[in-house]
Structure 1
Amino acid sequence: MQPAKPAAARPVVRQSAAREPDSGVPCPSCGTLNQPGRKFCRRCATRLDAPEPVAALPWWRTRWPFRRRVRIGGSGRWGRRLLALLVVVALVVAGFLLLPAGRGVVEDVRDKLGDASAISPSNATASASVPGHPAAAAIDSLTNRYWGAPALGASVTFTFERPFRLVDLVVHTGPSADPGAFRREARPTRVDLVVTSADGTEHTQQVSLNDKPGPQTIATGISDVVTVRLVLREAAGLSSGRHLAVGEVEFFKRS
């Protein structure tokens, strides 16, 4: 038989000789008093100088560019204020620049979604007319009567009593809607459309017309219209002894 191995003596728990302090900082977790200057509890190691909770920021302070950031040499408050001011100025400038374009887009959409109704001019005058074919014949709702112009460059002006939104106009060229009589006189194939608004602004548009009988629609989309003038620039079938014929001009407003 071999001798048994010696067993080590078990450690004996001894009470600390240190005296419990009568005063000090109580632990927020276990309540044990700790000597001043300690950072952690001597019993449960809880931090004694825990920072106070920081109040939550309002929601708008969490959005850029108002989000708070720690910067070296300052909090960046003036930088954020300057950036916010620049953003406001940029929005104001963009509003002034884009407002007319945006308004035009809205009006065009309303023209397409809304209905149009006919409107008649209160008067029609021409810079020149051939005998028997006055300017008033272009707005009498008859396509077998027409305004006759002696030469290119002549114009006809239509006047309206009240300003309105001109959605489009319809032009009938030639002396008659009948295909057999359509080519008896010259027909305009290109005109200048000059629309005047109530504030005196003129909108000029070059319009090409097909040399065939029937209505031809010209989209405009101009607000506060008071007068419309057609200036004849080019024509088909113009020769000696023949004049230009405009059978009918119709106007449509947004209803």
Structure 2
Amino acid sequence: MRACPACGTANGEDDEFCGNCGSYLGWSSRPSRNPSAATGSDGPAEPDGPAAGATAGAPAVPPPGTAPENADPVPVPPPSSHPEQEAPARSTPSPAPEPAGPPAEPAPDPAGPPPAEPAPTPELPPRPARPAPVRPEPPGEDAPVAAVQPAVPVARRPVVRPVAPDETPDGPPCPACGTPNLPGRRFCRRCAAPLQTREEPKSLPRWRTVWPFRRRVRGGSGRLLRRGVLALVVVGLLCAGFLLVPAGRYLVEDVRDKLGGTAEISPSKVTASSRTPGHPASDAVDGLTNTYWGAPALGSSLTCSFDKPFRLVGVVVHTGVSLEPKEFRQGARPTRAELIVTTADGEVREETVTLTDKPGPQTVRTAISDVVSVRLVLRDAAGQGEGRPIAVGEVEFFKRT
């Protein structure tokens, strides 16, 4: 295994790049598959022929003039100033010591019993004499000291190692060079190309790219700014609500009036300031349009009271003595009136209503809360004449449901 010098991750022997960080590991140390490359093109070649057999069968013989490898070292004495006197002593070898014989037996004692015969001692083979070391003769007095040539080194025979089979890892191929790699590697072992590529995210639909459905692409991108703006908007709305309570309430109630339903409500009591004979004030709220309340002059009023406060969203007024156009023109009819509304807390609101001079219902929107009383005062009329009362055919009130 080869360790990465950058991150220390273990890699295969034949990997050239780290599988974790993609760093270069150096050339692979795996041997070549070519048998001829085992010895090298420039290495020593094996001798062939008879000489090769002789070399293989017999030990190598050093050339003459060199000492054998297993011979005992021979000490060389230092040169002396009188070589003539020491030469005979060094040239004469000393004799080897002879092996000692068996020890002498003691003499028998004549007074004692005869000794027992000793057991025969086995004869030991004689120890071979060790030859004396041969010491070279020192050079003469006039002979120069020559350098000794070192022994020629004997090259070892090359050992042929078996080539290991190529173990191809079983894994996904590299997208760049196609080399298979082991699962879990992040970079290719041959070209260091990234193996684990990220999938590109799919494009968002159109509706996800429009605010407020827009999704953030980068984490925290503009998040603080958006939250700050939203907080400021909420605080502003709260302040505006506290400062403009009446306007805000009116706006809320108006929205509820438009979104909610309506229902007709009948007054509990109806009174009039004046009337003509045969046309009482109750004829204005009886639900019929062929009967009417007759006011003798302008300034007359019709007052309607209610038991419970309610939200008055509109008033419908029918003018004239009938819905038929011919009969409608024969009587007097109001064209302008004043609507006075009283609420439960005593507040009075006045509103001027302009009525068209034609038969049919005419709607007046009011949008007033907590109404307990409504008074209709006639201010102007059309078709007045001698013996013609101002006719109000029907008055309807509507509340919010």
TM-score, scaled relative to structure 2: 0.41
The alpha carbon displacement at 1:178 in A equals 1.6
The alpha carbon displacement at 1:97 in A equals 3.8
Give the equivalent residue in structure 1 for 2:302: 156
Give the equivalent residue in structure 2 for 1:200: 346
Q: 1:96 & 1:127 partners in 2: Cα distance?
A: 43
Give the equivalent residue in structure 2 for 1:191: 337
Give the equivalent residue in structure 1 for 2:371: 225
Q: Where in structure 2 are the equivalents of 1:127-166 lying within 5 Å?
A: 127-166=273-312
Structure 1 residue runs of 5 or longer lacking an equivalent are 1-58, 65-87
Give the equivalent residue in structure 2 for 1:211: 357
Q: 2:246 & 2:325 partners in 1: Cα distance?
A: 44
Q: Give the secondary-structure state (helix, strand or coil) at the position aligned to 1:180.
A: helix
Tell me the alpha carbon deviations over residues 192-212 of structure 1, each in whole angstroms, 9 at most, x when there is no partner: 001110011011000000011
The alpha carbon displacement at 1:191 in A equals 0.3
C-alpha RMSD of the superposition: 2.2
Alignment: residue pair count: 173
The alpha carbon displacement at 1:238 in A equals 1.1
Q: 1:91 & 1:102 partners in 2: Cα distance?
A: 11
Q: State the AA in 2 paired with 1:166.
A: L
Q: State the AA in 2 paired with 1:207.
A: V
Q: 1:251 & 1:97 partners in 2: Cα distance?
A: 33
Q: Give the secondary-structure state (helix, strand or coil) at the position aligned to 1:247.
A: strand
| 8 Å Cα contact 2:299-2:378 kept in structure 1 | yes
Q: 2:241 & 2:281 partners in 1: Cα distance?
A: 44
The alpha carbon displacement at 1:94 in A equals 5.0
Give the equivalent residue in structure 2 for 1:105: 251
Give the equivalent residue in structure 2 for 1:239: 385
Q: Give the secondary-structure state (helix, strand or coil) at the position aligned to 1:111.
A: helix
The alpha carbon displacement at 1:242 in A equals 1.2
Give the equivalent residue in structure 2 for 1:115: 261
Q: 1:123 & 1:174 partners in 2: Cα distance?
A: 23
Tell me the alpha carbon deviations over residues 70-116 of structure 1, each in whole angstroms, 9 at most, x when there is no partner: xxxxxxxxxxxxxxxxxx9x998854541011000110111011110
Q: Give the secondary-structure state (helix, strand or coil) at the position aligned to 1:108.
A: helix
Q: State the AA in 2 paired with 1:197.
A: T
Q: 1:248 & 1:241 partners in 2: Cα distance?
A: 21
Q: 1:97 & 1:196 partners in 2: Cα distance?
A: 26
Q: Give the secondary-structure state (helix, strand or coil) at the position aligned to 1:181.
A: helix
Larger RCO, structures 1/2 (Cα 8 Å, 6+ apart): 1
The alpha carbon displacement at 1:180 in A equals 1.7
Give the equivalent residue in structure 2 for 1:31: none
Tell me the alpha carbon deviations over residues 4-30 of structure 1, each in whole angstroms, 9 at most, x when there is no partner: xxxxxxxxxxxxxxxxxxxxxxxxxxx
Larger Rg computed on CA atoms = 2
Q: 1:184 & 1:157 partners in 2: Cα distance?
A: 26
The alpha carbon displacement at 1:184 in A equals 2.1
Q: State the AA in 1 paired with 2:315.
A: L
Q: Where in structure 2 are the equivalents of 1:56-95 lying within 5 Å?
A: 94-95=240-241
Give the equivalent residue in structure 2 for 1:248: 394
Q: 2:242 & 2:295 partners in 1: Cα distance?
A: 45
The alpha carbon displacement at 1:240 in A equals 2.3
Q: 2:255 & 2:315 partners in 1: Cα distance?
A: 18
Q: Structure 1's 92 and 108: CA in aligned 2 closer, same or farther, altered over 3 A?
A: closer
